[in-house]
């Protein structure tokens, strides 16, 4: 059961039925009857809002899975101040992977002036704060709200939401014809993805623009999918956007993926799923159950992962899979549970059209897209190369960025009337420029912009001419020569390139290789070593260098790289680690005789694991750095393609191997494809079991300590009482003996002291041996 706190404006709820947000949220739509079984709503207003932020209160914020701040709830000063005074708690709450939806807050919006500063509403942590600027039009019903990210989970599950549905709800509701009163401008645009925007109304003023798209942002979500924050200037609850509101509820409460479980009611084989579903719900792993659903209907459900009951035959599962594959955009992983006679457990047999793109990689690409404008990735040709090569390799959208990059590059080319082109007359930067232009042209990113395409082709040819001319210059450094050679070799030289003498190019490359080899590579920087490795293998492929000679060099370079890699997998920093690891992955994929070496494999695995560990899930990137993020994301994508498993799933699979086997008795190959949600389920179930076991052991240990302590105390008191009784009888029966004892009291005192000291030593030894009986440890 998920618990949702709904904060409302109590006066509006008391006087207007459309303002009853809880009732709107409770209405079952795509979730059907499962909604009432899955969700419980708790209403807060100005009278009890303080309880959300009382540590010991049962209604403390952290006891809820998500929070909805209903339309105009902050009109109440008590609600507004509660949020503004507890931003650190809200940040901690979001950091725990929980969600918050903020609907329209009219009194927090302001009019835009030319010199307006984006100060924020003050109700969120600084990195997520935003401003609401009143629209210049008189009516809130004007404009047209369109979906900017149609494939986003918010628009697809559990209800399909499109532009027509949004427009219909805006025009037909119990509130009034209403779209929005203000538009959202985040203080840090890179932290958000725009989901809904008004593309029809006049664009944003330049002072408010944060992306290449100048449309007004109406509904935004945090770019980091773990910290699920949604802010909007729409009165979603009052205007009856029920489908979109239910999608948002599922998103902020359950996350971006729900396991779909297909059952066959009434079958004995289906009963095995009960135990797994109970565990999943206890661990609050989001699950949707579909009993006896037809294949055609099942194909309409938008799940990334479907688990099919063992009650279904393989033929039936093939039918389900065929129906899913009718949709060309199908990205579902289907798992069929089949009994395993040997272990008595189950195996998960997976069907998938392709390996899922790594979640970290996708988040990083989205962050890079958000940070492009207005800073243009630091306006660095190196950054352009790192980002463009990553996006091109993984088929991310480049069309929006490509013309801007071409125009920027043109500004850095000399204006003299010459066919030769360079980037500010700098050799290594010009080599980077050549690679960027080549990638933009080969990827098709400029295919719809003929002017930019012609410009890029001309600059590319001019750069080749300038660089090949520079290769003849004996004064350029060995490192610069290597940059030029690699840039030229990475182009498709099977096509004739005007002005390029391949024979001469090969001679210069061979001479460069010999110069490095004469120094035994030891003077090379780490990234330079990776570049020389690439150059060596290329020369071997071209037949310019002898196989045995290159093999010897490769072994030496790999040994040096292994020596320089730390135990944690780093080469100096995360950016350098990613660049070296990427080179090793690319070369392994390109040169078959290079792949499969133990040293190289170990270097790659340690590098990838290091990169995964350095990922900042709160920011959705690596150290908030463009270059490091682009390289690291490129590594994960390359790793994914080579082994067919996303990198984060691969390493998570290794870590949960024993737990997974105990859970379903699967094999290691199946484990590699189980996905993040299954890993999360296993981890949470393992944590629950560990806590339960720990609690049981602690209780049993405490009972033993109490019993032993009570026994020791009882025996001690009984012994002292008996001794006192014996002494009393002796004194009464033999008074002369008592007088003698009193007369010799000094001797008895000394002997008693010695006896007490010996008793303390003995008791101390026993106490230590019994594990500090009187002070039992916590665990």
Residue of higher predicted confidence among 477 and 209: 477
Measure the CA–CA gap between 98 and 65, rounded to whole angstroms. Answer: 6
Predicted local confidence at residue 653, as pLDDT: 41
Q: Which of the four pLDDT bands, split at 50, 70 and 90, describes residue 259?
A: confident
Walk across the sheet containing 2-7 and list its strands.
Answer: 39-44, 2-7, 66-69, 99-102, 228-232, 216-222, 192-198, 145-147
Q: 132, 108 in Cβ contact below 8 A?
A: yes
Q: Which of the four pLDDT bands, split at 50, 70 and 90, describes residue 70?
A: very high
To the nearest whole number, what is the mean pLDDT of the chain?
81
Q: Could you tell me what percent of the chain has a pLDDT over 90?
A: 44
Closest residue by Cα to residue 430 from 401, 404, 407, 464: 464
Measure the CA–CA gap between 641 and 357, rounded to whole angstroms. Answer: 9
43-70 residues labelled b (16+ CB within 10 A) or e (exposed) = bbbbeebbbbbeeeeebebeebbbbbbb
Determine how β-strand 216-222 pairs with β-strand 228-232: antiparallel
Alpha helices (H) along 571-674: 574-590, 598-614, 626-643, 647-655, 657-664, 668-671
Provide CB contacts within 8 A for 35, sequence distance 6+. Answer: 26, 28, 29, 246
Q: Give the range among 60-64, 340-344, 525-529, 766-770 with minimum mean pLDDT.
A: 766-770
Predicted local confidence at residue 33, as pLDDT: 85
Q: Give the range among 80-84, 99-103, 528-532, 720-724 with minimum mean pLDDT.
A: 720-724
Measure the CA–CA gap between 169 and 188, rounded to whole angstroms. Answer: 30
Provide CB contacts within 8 A for 761, sequence distance 6+. Answer: none
Question: Which residues sit opposite 335 in a β-bridge?
Answer: 307, 350
Over residues 311-324, the mean pLDDT reads 87
pTM, entire model: 0.68
Q: Is the pLDDT of residue 341 over 80?
A: no
Cα angle 725, 729, 735; round to 5: 140
Look up residue 616 and give its DSSP letter. Answer: B
Measure the CA–CA gap between 216 and 196, rounded to whole angstroms. Answer: 9
Provide CB contacts within 8 A for 219, sequence distance 6+. Answer: 184, 194, 195, 196, 230, 231, 232, 233, 234
Q: Is the pLDDT of residue 71 over 50?
A: yes
Q: Which of the four pLDDT bands, split at 50, 70 and 90, describes residue 324?
A: confident
Q: Which of the four pLDDT bands, split at 50, 70 and 90, describes residue 674?
A: very low
SS3 category, 232 = strand
Q: Is the pLDDT of residue 162 over 50?
A: yes
Predicted local confidence at residue 560, as pLDDT: 94
Q: 170, 178 in Cβ contact below 8 A?
A: yes
Provide CB contacts within 8 A for 614, sequence distance 6+. Answer: 574, 622, 623, 632
Predicted local confidence at residue 440, as pLDDT: 95
Alpha-carbon distances, residue 563 vs 197, 329, 391 (angstroms): 52, 45, 32
Residue of higher predicted confidence among 255 and 130: 130
**What is 540-599 written as a DSSP string?**
HHHTSS-HHHHHHHHHHHHHHHHHHS-TTS-BSBHHHHHHHHHHHHHHHHH-TTTTT-HH
Over residues 265-283, the mean pLDDT reads 78
Over residues 149-174, the mean pLDDT reads 90
Measure the CA–CA gap between 301 and 158, rounded to whole angstroms. Answer: 7
Look up residue 383 and give its DSSP letter. Answer: H
Predicted local confidence at residue 291, as pLDDT: 85
Residue whose pair of structure tokens reads 């390359």 in the numeric block = 638
Q: Is the pLDDT of residue 612 over 60?
A: yes
Residue of higher predicted confidence among 739 and 195: 195
Cα angle 272, 274, 278; round to 5: 140
pLDDT digits (tens, 9 = 90+) for 645-667: 555 555 544 433 333 233 333 33
pLDDT digits (tens, 9 = 90+) for 357-416: 467 888 888 889 888 888 899 999 999 999 999 999 988 889 989 999 999 999 999 766
Helix-then-strand count for the chain, H and E? 29, 16
pLDDT digits (tens, 9 = 90+) for 687-745: 554 544 454 545 555 566 566 666 666 666 666 666 666 666 666 666 665 566 555 55
Closest residue by Cα to residue 634 from 439, 280, 317, 390: 390
Residue of higher predicted confidence among 374 and 197: 197
Q: Is the pLDDT of residue 631 over 50?
A: yes
Q: Which of the four pLDDT bands, split at 50, 70 and 90, describes residue 50?
A: very high
The 3-state DSSP composition of the chain as helix, strand, coil percent (nearest 5) reads 55, 10, 35
In the Cβ-directed half-sphere of 102, how many Cα atoms lie within 13 Å? 27
3-state SS of 255-268? CCCCEEEEECCCCH
Q: 580, 526 in Cβ contact below 8 A?
A: yes
Q: Give the range among 197-201, 407-411, 517-521, 620-624 with minimum mean pLDDT.
A: 517-521
pLDDT digits (tens, 9 = 90+) for 553-579: 999 999 999 999 998 999 999 999 999
């Amino acid at each position: 059961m998920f618990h949702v706190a709904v904060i409302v404006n109590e006066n509006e709820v008391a006087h207007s039925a459309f303002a009853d947000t809880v009732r709107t949220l409770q209405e079952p739509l795509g979730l059907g009857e499962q909604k009432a079984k899955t969700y419980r709503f708790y209403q807060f207003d100005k009278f009890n809002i303080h309880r959300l932020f009382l540590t010991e209160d049962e209604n403390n914020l952290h006891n809820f899975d998500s929070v909805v701040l209903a339309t105009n709830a902050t009109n109440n000063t008590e609600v507004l101040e509660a949020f503004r005074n507890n931003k650190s708690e809200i940040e901690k709450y979001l950091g725990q992977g929980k969600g918050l939806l903020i609907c329209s807050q009219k009194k927090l919006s302001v009019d835009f002036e030319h010199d307006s500063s984006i100060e924020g509403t003050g109700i969120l942590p600084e990195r997520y704060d935003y401003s609401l600027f009143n629209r210049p039009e008189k009516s809130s019903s004007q404009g047209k709200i369109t979906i900017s990210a149609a494939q986003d989970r918010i628009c697809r599950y559990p209800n399909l939401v499109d532009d027509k549905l949004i427009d219909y709800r805006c025009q037909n509701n119990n509130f009034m014809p209403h779209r929005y009163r203000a538009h959202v401008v985040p203080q840090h645009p890179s932290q958000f993805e725009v989901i809904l925007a008004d593309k029809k109304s006049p664009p944003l003023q330049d002072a408010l623009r944060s992306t290449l798209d100048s449309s007004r942002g109406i509904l935004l979500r945090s770019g980091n999918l773990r910290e699920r924050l949604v802010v909007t200037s729409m009165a979603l609850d009052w205007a009856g956007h029920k489908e979109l509101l239910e999608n948002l509820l599922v998103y902020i409460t359950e996350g971006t993926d729900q396991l779909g479980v297909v059952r066959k009611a009434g079958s004995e084989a289906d009963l095995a799923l009960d135990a797994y579903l109970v565990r999943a719900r206890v661990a609050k792993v989001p699950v949707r159950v579909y009993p006896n659903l037809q294949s055609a209907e099942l194909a309409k459900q938008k799940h990334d992962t479907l688990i099919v009951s063992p009650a279904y035959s393989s033929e039936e599962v093939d039918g389900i899979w065929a129906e899913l594959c009718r949709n060309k955009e199908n990205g579902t992983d289907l798992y069929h549970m089949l009994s395993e006679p040997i272990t008595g457990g189950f195996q998960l047999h997976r069907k998938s059209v392709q390996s899922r793109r790594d979640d970290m990689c996708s988040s990083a690409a989205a962050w890079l897209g958000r940070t492009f404008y207005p800073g243009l990735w630091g306006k660095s040709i190196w950054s352009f190369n790192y980002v463009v090569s990553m996006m091109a390799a993984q088929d991310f959208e480049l069309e929006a960025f490509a013309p801007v990059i071409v125009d920027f590059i043109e500004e850095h080319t000399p204006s003299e009337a010459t066919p030769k082109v360079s980037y500010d007359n700098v050799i290594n930067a010009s080599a980077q420029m050549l690679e960027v232009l080549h990638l933009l042209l080969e990827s098709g990113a400029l295919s719809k912009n003929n002017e930019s395409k012609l410009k890029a082709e001309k600059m590319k040819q001019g750069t080749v001419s300038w660089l090949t001319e520079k290769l003849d210059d004996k004064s350029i450094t060995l490192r610069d020569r290597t940059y030029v050679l690699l840039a030229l070799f990475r182009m498709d030289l099977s096509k004739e390139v005007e002005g390029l003498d391949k024979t001469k190019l090969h001679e210069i490359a061979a001479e460069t290789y010999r110069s490095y080899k004469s120094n035994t590579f030891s003077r090379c920087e780490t990234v330079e070593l990776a570049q020389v490795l690439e150059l060596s293998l290329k020369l071997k492929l071209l037949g310019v260098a002898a196989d045995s000679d290159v093999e010897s060099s490769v072994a030496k370079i790999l040994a040096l790289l292994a020596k320089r890699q730390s135990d944690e997998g780093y080469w100096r920093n995360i950016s350098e680690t990613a660049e070296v690891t990427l080179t090793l992955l690319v070369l392994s994929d390109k040169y078959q005789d290079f792949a499969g070496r133990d040293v190289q494999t170990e270097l790659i695995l340690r590098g990838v694991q290091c990169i995964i560990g350095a990922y900042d899930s709160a920011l959705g990137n690596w150290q908030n750095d463009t270059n490091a993020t682009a390289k690291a994301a490129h590594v994960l994508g390359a790793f994914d393609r080579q082994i067919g498993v996303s990198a984060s799933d691969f390493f998570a699979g290794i870590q949960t191997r024993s737990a997974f086997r105990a859970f379903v008795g699967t094999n290691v190959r199946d484990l590699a494809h189980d996905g993040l949600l299954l890993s999360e389920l296993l981890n949470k179930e393992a944590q629950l079991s560990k806590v339960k076991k720990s609690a049981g052991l602690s209780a049993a240990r405490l009972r033993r300590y109490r019993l032993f302590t009570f026994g020791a105390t009882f025996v001690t008191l009984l012994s002292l009482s008996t001794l006192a009784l014996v002494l009393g009888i002796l004194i009464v029966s033999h008074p002369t003996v008592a007088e003698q004892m009193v007369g010799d009291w000094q001797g008895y005192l000394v002997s008693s002291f010695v006896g007490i000291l010996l008793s303390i030593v003995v008791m101390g030894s026993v106490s230590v041996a019994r594990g500090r009986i009187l002070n039992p440890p916590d665990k």
